[in-house]
Every structure is written in C-alpha cells, then in structure tokens.
Amino acid sequence: MSFLAQDWDNAPLIRTAQVVGISSAFMIAGGSGFISYGAAPSYKRLPAPLMAKQWQLNYEAGKAAAPLFALASGVSFAYLIAQHAKSSAPSRTLYLYTLAGVIVPAIVPYTKIVMMKLNDRLHAKVTELAGAQPGDGAFEEKGVPQDETVGSMVEKWRRLNAVRAIAGYIGGIAGLIALVWRD
C-alpha cells in the first residue's frame, strides 16, 4: 500500500512536495540541457569576445536559478523521504525519492568542485577580450594555445554542464516513477 493512502492528513503537503520536487528537477534539466545542447553549440559561429560574453550571460542566468531549483527539489524530496520512512517500511518508492533527493541537489557541489576552475577561466576571458576589436590578435585569439581558446573552453563547459542536465532528468524521472509506482 502506498504511503499516501496511509497519511491523508498530510496529503496536500505530500502532493505539493511531489509537484515541486519533480518540476524543479525538470527545470534544472531543461535549463541546463537547453544551454548545453541549444545555446552553446550556436556560439561556435561567433567571434571569441562575443562568444565569451554570450557564455557569461547564460552562466549568470543559470547561476541565479539552478541553485534555487536544486534547493526546492532537495527539500521537497527530503520531505517525501521523511513522510514515507515514518509511515511504511523501506521500499522502491523510498529508494527512488532518495535517489532524486540526492542527485538533484548534488549539482551544486558538482559545480563548485568540477566546474568552478573552468568557470573562473571563462570569466577571465570575458574580461580579457572585453575591448578586443576585429583585426586585433586578441579578437581572433592568435597565438593562444588551442585548449585555452574561448571556443575550446566553452565546448568543455558545455559537456560538463550537460552532466547537470542529466542529473536533473534522473531526479525528475525517479520522482515520477516514485509517484506512480505503488509499493
């Protein structure tokens, strides 16, 4: 029997936590996925200074939103875990909520540990290229090692950011399966 059927006093809170947890996970997935697979690939046609600036604009939008969605999702899934744990024995539903409750908020430390050095290097490139004009060596990044060009750094960042999208999808799907899977 589902823990929802056992705990009708908290049913509105449980339903709210399910909606918030799942939708927040998918917001992370969609936002990060769009930037990695939609926006960032289109930067390849841009000159280095504009590419760096476009990356920074998308980065700032994600930086403002993703941690809030990760927090909302994590708190919602933690509530669902607590409600399930107090009303029934461990089950697949509990494990799915636990997976979602761990993997979605994990994007924050992942960003700090895995991506932050690259983010800092890209921010430095934005500043370095801010005044570059067509015809300048800096504009075309002449003499810059390949792995230090804006294009190669944005490509690496795009792949690392895709991991955050995948984490959101895994969390959202786990939450959906837990929602419909009756133990």
The 10 Å Cβ neighbour count of residue 149 is 16
In DSSP notation, the chain reads: --HHHH-GGGHHHHHHHHHHHHHHHHHHHHHHHHIIIIIHHHGGGS-HHHHHHHHHHHHHHHHHHHHHHHHHHHHHHHHHHHHHHHHS---HHHHHHHHHHHHTTTHHHHIIIIIHHHHHHHHHHHHHTTT--TTSHHHHTTT--GGGSHHHHHHHHHHHHHHHHHHHHHHHHHHHHHHH---
The answer to whether residue 2 is domain-embedded is: no
Q: What is the pLDDT of residue 21?
A: 98
Q: What is the pLDDT of residue 34?
A: 96
Residue-range definition of the domain harbouring residue 22: 10-180
The answer to whether residue 105 is domain-embedded is: yes
Q: How far is CA 100 from the centre of its chain?
A: 13
Q: Are 29 and 169 in contact (CB under 8 A)?
A: yes
Q: Are 43 and 54 in contact (CB under 8 A)?
A: yes
The answer to whether residue 55 is domain-embedded is: yes
End-to-end CA distance of the chain: 6
- pTM for the full model? 0.87
Q: In terms of Cα–Cα distance, which of 82, 74, 114, 89 is closest to 14?
A: 82
Q: What is the pLDDT of residue 132?
A: 76
Per-residue pLDDT of the chain (183 residues; tens, 9 = 90+): 454 445 545 689 999 999 999 999 999 999 999 999 999 999 988 888 999 999 999 999 999 999 999 999 999 999 999 998 887 677 899 999 999 999 999 999 999 999 999 999 999 999 988 887 776 666 667 677 777 899 999 999 999 999 999 999 999 999 999 999 866
The 10 Å Cβ neighbour count of residue 62 is 19
State the total domains in the chain. Answer: 1
Q: What is the pLDDT of residue 11?
A: 87
The answer to whether residue 37 is domain-embedded is: yes
Q: What is the pLDDT of residue 89?
A: 75
142 class by beta-carbon count within 10 Å (0-12 exposed, 13-18 middle, 19+ buried): exposed
